[in-house]
Amino acid sequence: MADRPRKMGLRRRWLINSIVPVVVLLLLISALVSIAFADNYYSGARSALEAKVNAGAEYFNTYVMTGYDEYYRGAVQYCATFDSRERVELQFLTADGTVELTTRSLTVGLRPGTSDIVETMRTGQVGSFTGRDPVTGERIVAVSSLLKFNGTVVGMMRLVTSLRDIDNQVIMTVIMVLAITFAALVLILLSSLLFINSVVAPVSAVSDAARRISRGVYGIQIPNTYADEMHDLVDDINDMSVKIGRNERTQREFVSSVSHELRTPLTAINGWGETLLGDVDSGSVDSEAMRRGLTIICKESARLTNMVEELLDFSRLVDGRFTLQVEPTDLQAELEDAVYTYRELFRQDGIELNYHSGKDIYEDPIDGDGERLKQVFSNVLDNARKHGGSGKRIDVALHRRSGFYIITIRDYGHGIPEDELPYVKQKFYKGSSKARGNGIGLAVCDEIIRLHGGTFDIGNARGGGAVVTIRLPIPDKKEGRNPDGKQ
């Protein structure tokens, strides 16, 4: 139920921000169009009458006005022959505004008193009136023009027409405009609803998936049937779900592995401690057994110390407190120390450890942390023994190429499954290996080499086994710069 307000809110915001302005704009346009059409119809009718009354008044003033009698006979004849009598009423008014002659006898003797008559008498120009007839109450348009004889006003010619047909035409036009506007609004609303639903549906699916992920349901996948930006978003959510699930599983395995790794040396230490304590209490101390027990206790204590150091390094790595004590360092010496340290251990396990350095290696120190670099070499050698020791051979080589020291450590074991290669440097990751370890050593090594400006790569070697390749930049003696140009 918590989803509904958000989905309705999205639709409501879309309607308010997108549809309402469009509706207001369309209504405003339809109103302006309707007003324009109405004004065009009314002004057209008025202009036609003005042209007609101008022509009639000019005819009278030019050809008929030779006397009042001629004027009256001409007016009677003009009314009789007026060709627009079906639609327009022709009136001849006296100088005081009384209807004297008309094509419709019902208005004879009336005084309309409309503004067109007043305006014509005042200005001498053609006057017009649009509104309701004071006598009949009908909506009309009327125009008037003066008739003169020897400069004296003898009357007015007035044309009057009903606006009934024009009003009906205006109403039909307005209805048509409103119908078109309504159809456009319906079309816009339907297309907008389809669009917003096409957005809300995937957003709801993504929201539901994110909510389930937040509740601990990892690895779920949203069917991706979209072809726009939602396709990328759903892909990202699915990828996030998979990675969170993998990380969650990896962390559980890490906790289990660390618990096991801690339990094993602690059990040995505790067991031998109780054994030696019992021998002391009984007075039957066997020096050989005590030596063996103390050796195991020291060995397991060293293992615990190394594990705690790795966990501390990892904590610093996560918190961003992982730093180096940088000073001029003899890389070859640090690597050879690690090789000589592990050579005897490997020999006891029946593993041959070979070391080779190129002839182009010189005593050029690098700017680095010798202890951290030795930690990397030791960790990689120990991993080679645990995961590739079945090949009974490990090769270590140091070369100099294109401004870099290149260290390779290769074993001849079973190698790394191809699908696990992209993840072997991730924290907590152990893959399908059953060997001891907490899964953070390689992540720490990768960070140490990165802080030295180098690269740490793991892959499978041609012919079998795994190979670790470490590249570290050699400073430029002349300028004190690394090959990449950094200080």
Q: What CATH number did the domain enclosing 461 receive?
A: 3.30.565.10
Do residues 402 and 414 lie in contact, with contact meaning Cβ atoms separated by under 8 Å?
no
Question: Which of the four pLDDT bands, split at 50, 70 and 90, describes residue 387?
Answer: confident
Question: Which of the four pLDDT bands, split at 50, 70 and 90, describes residue 487?
Answer: very low
Q: Are residues 118 and 36 in the same domain?
A: yes
Do residues 363 and 440 lie in contact, with contact meaning Cβ atoms separated by under 8 Å?
no
Q: What is the radius of gyration, based on Cα positions, of the chain?
A: 52
Higher pLDDT, 454 or 426: 454
Is the pLDDT at 471 greater than 90? The verdict is yes
Is the pLDDT at 256 greater than 70? The verdict is no
Question: Residue range 222-245: average pLDDT?
Answer: 75
Identity of residue 224:
N
In the numeric block, the tokens 């031998």 are attached to 272
What is the pLDDT, as a whole number, of residue 345?
Answer: 83
- Burial of residue 421, with CB atoms counted within 10 A of its CB: 0-12 exposed, 13-18 middle, 19 or more buried: middle
Q: Are residues 286 and 358 in the same domain?
A: no
Q: Cα(127)–Cα(268) distance, rounded to whole angstroms?
A: 121
pLDDT (tens digit per residue) in 411-446:
998 888 888 888 888 766 666 665 555 567 788 888
Q: Cα(117)–Cα(143) distance, rounded to whole angstroms?
A: 8
Q: Cα(90)–Cα(79) distance, rounded to whole angstroms?
A: 7
Q: Give φ, ψ of 241 to 5 degrees.
A: -60, -45
| Domains identified in the chain, total number | 3
Q: Cα(180)–Cα(381) distance, rounded to whole angstroms?
A: 81
Residue 346 zone, left/alpha/beta (φ > 0; ψ -120 to 50; rest) = alpha
Nearest Cα neighbor of 18 from 161, 196, 216 is: 196
Do residues 176 and 149 lie in contact, with contact meaning Cβ atoms separated by under 8 Å?
no
Q: Are residues 377 and 355 in the same domain?
A: yes
Question: Which of the four pLDDT bands, split at 50, 70 and 90, describes residue 221?
Answer: confident
Helices and strands (H, E) in the chain, number of each type:
10, 12
Do you know the residue count of the chain? 487
Nearest Cα neighbor of 414 from 463, 465, 460, 461 is: 465
Residue ranges making up the domain that contains 145: 15-168
Question: Residue range 106-112: average pLDDT?
Answer: 83
Q: Are residues 281 and 345 in the same domain?
A: no
Q: Are residues 390 and 256 in the same domain?
A: no
Report yes or no on 426 lying in a domain: yes
Q: Which of 319, 339, 373 is the last residue of a domain?
A: 319
Angle at 153 (CA atoms; ends 152, 157), nearest 5 degrees:
150
Is the pLDDT at 236 greater than 60? The verdict is yes
CATH number assigned to the domain comprising residue 160: 3.30.450.20
Q: How many CA atoms, within 13 angstroms, populate the side-chain half-sphere of residue 282?
A: 9
Report yes or no on 88 lying in a domain: yes
In Å, how far are 275, 381, 414, 445 from 386, measured between CA atoms?
30, 9, 11, 17
Q: Cα(101)–Cα(71) distance, rounded to whole angstroms?
A: 12
Q: Are residues 38 and 143 in the same domain?
A: yes
**Strand pairing partners for 147?**
155
* H helical segments located in 143-286: 164-214, 229-282
Look up residue 289 and give its two tokens.
């057994």
Report how far Cα 117 is from the mean position of its chain's Cα atoms.
70
- DSSP, res 152: E
Q: Which of 168, 191, 218 is the last residue of a domain?
A: 168
Report yes or no on 479 lying in a domain: no
Report yes or no on 209 lying in a domain: no
Q: Are residues 315 and 338 in the same domain?
A: no
Report yes or no on 432 lying in a domain: yes
Q: Give φ, ψ of 374 to 5 degrees.
A: -65, -35
Is the pLDDT at 484 greater than 50? The verdict is no
Q: Cα(201)–Cα(206) distance, rounded to whole angstroms?
A: 9
Q: Which of 138, 168, 198 is the last residue of a domain?
A: 168
- DSSP, res 475: P
Do residues 211 and 237 lie in contact, with contact meaning Cβ atoms separated by under 8 Å?
no
Q: Cα(470)–Cα(390) distance, rounded to whole angstroms?
A: 23
Report yes or no on 288 lying in a domain: yes
- DSSP, res 105: G
Q: Give φ, ψ of 83 to 5 degrees.
A: -85, -10
Q: Are residues 373 and 444 in the same domain?
A: yes
Q: Are residues 453 and 340 in the same domain?
A: yes
Q: Are residues 369 and 394 in the same domain?
A: yes
* Whole-structure pTM value: 0.46
Report yes or no on 156 lying in a domain: yes
Three-state SS for 36? helix
Question: Residue range 124-130: average pLDDT?
Answer: 91
Q: Are residues 333 and 446 in the same domain?
A: yes
Identity of residue 169:
Q
Report yes or no on 184 lying in a domain: no
What is the pLDDT, as a whole number, of residue 454?
Answer: 94
Angle at 425 (CA atoms; ends 419, 431), nearest 5 degrees:
45
Angle at 334 (CA atoms; ends 438, 401), nearest 5 degrees:
100
Question: Residue range 189-210: average pLDDT?
Answer: 76
Least confident of 101-105, 287-291, 359-363: 359-363
CATH number assigned to the domain comprising residue 265: 1.10.287.130
Q: Are residues 157 and 234 in the same domain?
A: no
